């Protein structure tokens, strides 16, 4: 039994001592071991598991301190008699009613919103098991600064720092991260803001949700790019039916007459999602002029602001804003790991005040431990170094991808970009994007069909998005070759 329990708890991320502790805790809380049961002596368990005795001794000692085990002199260790005290007793299985005979609750008539029915980007849960994952916005273990992040996590666990981030901040953010965003992050994009103009969010998507929640209701008119980031479209559509698509061109969102009737406009000028094109400076200035003329508020999603192949990237739209017409949304985790979920909003103080009050109702505030760790990461120069490393890697991968496409798939057309982590590719007319995605997966290649980015599933053209953030440069050429083979099978 002990060998089986130990194998079940075997995790490379835990030390042997940690695995033994997890094994025993799991066995106690799941009822395999009952209060009062004896556990093997440290010598006996060490022999059964093939580990050093001191490892078992240390595990037993820790579990005794935490009242999972009780040590009795000359008798050994036993499961603490009070270990399950305070836990609700399990229901007798014989009293559990048959679900088939119960009256069914009709949840469908209670739901006023069905987010699961919206068209969204779908990615394989086990995408890391595929040899050629051309997916955008995923984690790349080769580029994550593990040592630097671990250093900052440990520093944030110092006694003084714990006292700073551990209390409930209610509506506040960690002051050190606000300061780093204000002085190090925003100036890179030409944006200058005071602390009361910044709020931290759980990623850029949380920022979009809060802005929509605060400013939009049925009848509110908002213009979006077409194609567009699907989750932004879905968020806005859940608030109002007046979501107006505006077709993009080679310079991003154009200035159109429809803007006269809009209250809000959502735009991704640095790298249009999903085409990746960059809006030139002249159009940005014209867009701000139109916003002022038509009393229009612009929501700028600068989700990929830091990734540019140019030495002098175009500053953010917000940096040109002189009339507080732009709500600026950015991401701090896009350059590190999406699982960190850290973003921010820059807006006038009166709007930030209400966003803080709204955020309190939702989540109170994002993890202040993550905030403080990230602030330290930025202050020590790790973030700046990471941006340089990421920029160089993406530039090399983009070059590798375009070369491989020219070699193996010359019949496809790539939209030129000036940075970012993906390419927008137009397929030949006879190759359906969805069919290609299914066939490619059988060849170990993951791609993203482009139809989901368009407002209507009809007349979307024939596009795919190829991300190169999560695939090593050395596998790109072979992956495109496999994609070409998949296309030939259609």
pLDDT in tens, 116-152: 999 998 888 899 899 999 999 888 888 899 999 999 9
173-219 pLDDT tens trace: 999 999 999 999 999 999 999 999 999 999 999 999 999 999 999 99
Dihedral sign of CA atoms 10, 12, 16, 17 in order: negative
42-64 pLDDT tens trace: 999 999 888 999 999 999 999 99
Q: Write out the E strands in 350-449.
A: 413-414, 422-426, 445-446, 448-449
The token pair at 147 is 């040592």
- Banded pLDDT at 97 (limits 50, 70, 90): low
Q: What's the pTM?
A: 0.89
**Predicted local distance difference test score (pLDDT) of residue 63:** 94
Query: Structural domains in the chain?
Result: 1-79 (1.10.10.10), 122-137+386-489 (3.90.1150.10), 146-383 (3.40.640.10)
**Predicted local distance difference test score (pLDDT) of residue 95:** 52
- Banded pLDDT at 100 (limits 50, 70, 90): low
Cβ atoms 437, 466 nearer than 8 A: no
Closest CA to 421 of 208, 271, 281: 271
Unique residue bearing structure tokens 């053209």 = 461
Neighbours of 457 (CB within 10 A): 9
CA dihedral 222, 226, 232, 237 (to 10 degrees): 50
- Banded pLDDT at 433 (limits 50, 70, 90): very high
CA dihedral 197, 202, 204, 208 (to 10 degrees): -80
């Amino acid at each position: 039994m002990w060998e089986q329990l130990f194998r079940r708890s075997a995790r490379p991320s835990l030390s042997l001592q940690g695995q033994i502790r997890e094994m025993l805790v799991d066995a106690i809380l799941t009822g395999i071991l009952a209060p009062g049961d004896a556990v093997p002596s440290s010598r006996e368990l060490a022999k059964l598991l093939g580990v050093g005795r001191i490892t078992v001794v240390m595990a037993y000692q820790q579990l005794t301190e935490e009242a999972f085990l009780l040590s009795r002199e000359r008798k050994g260790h036993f499961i603490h008699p009070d270990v399950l005290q305070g836990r609700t007793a399990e229901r007798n299985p014989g009293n559990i009613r048959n679900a088939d005979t119960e009256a069914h609750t009709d949840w469908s008539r209670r739901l006023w919103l069905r987010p699961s029915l919206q068209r969204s980007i779908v990615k394989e849960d086990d995408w890391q098991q595929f040899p050629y994952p051309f997916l955008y916005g995923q984690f790349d273990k080769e580029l994550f600064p593990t040592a630097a992040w671990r250093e900052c996590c440990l520093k944030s666990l110092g006694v003084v720092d714990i006292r700073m981030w551990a209390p409930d901040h209610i509506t506040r953010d960690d002051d050190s991260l606000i300061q780093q965003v204000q002085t190090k992050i925003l100036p890179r994009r030409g944006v200058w803001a005071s602390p009361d103009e910044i709020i931290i969010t759980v990623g850029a998507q949380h920022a979009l949700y809060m802005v929509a929640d605060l400013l939009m209701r049925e009848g509110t008119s908002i213009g979006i790019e077409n194609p567009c980031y699907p989750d932004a479209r879905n968020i806005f559509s859940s608030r109002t039916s007046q979501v107006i698509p505006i077709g993009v061109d080679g310079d991003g969102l154009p200035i159109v007459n429809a803007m006269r009737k809009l209250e809000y406009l959502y735009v991704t000028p640095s790298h249009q999602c999903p085409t990746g094109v960059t809006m030139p400076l002249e159009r940005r200035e014209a867009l701000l002029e139109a916003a002022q003329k038509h009393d229009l508020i612009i929501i700028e999603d600068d989700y990929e602001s830091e990734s540019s192949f140019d030495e002098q990237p175009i500053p953010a739209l917000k940096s040109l804003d002189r009339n507080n017409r732009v709500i600026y949304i950015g991401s701090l985790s896009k350059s590190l790991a999406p699982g960190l979920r850290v973003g921010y909003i820059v807006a006038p103080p009166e709007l930030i005040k209400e966003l803080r009050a709204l955020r309190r109702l939702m989540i109170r505030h994002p993890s202040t431990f993550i905030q403080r760790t990230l602030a330290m990461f930025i202050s020590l120069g790790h973030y700046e170094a990471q941006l340089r490393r990421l920029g160089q890697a993406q530039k090399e991968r983009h070059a590798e991808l375009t070369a491989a496409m020219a070699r193996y798939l010359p019949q496809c057309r790539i939209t030129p970009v000036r940075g970012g982590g993906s390419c927008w590719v137009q397929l030949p007319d006879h190759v359906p994007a969805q069919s290609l995605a299914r066939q490619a997966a059988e060849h170990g290649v993951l791609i993203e069909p482009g139809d989901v980015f368009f407002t209507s599933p009809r007349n979307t053209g024939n596009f795919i998005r190829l991300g190169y953030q999560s695939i090593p440069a050395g596998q790109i050429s072979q992956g495109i070759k496999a994609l070409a083979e998949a296309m030939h099978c259609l």
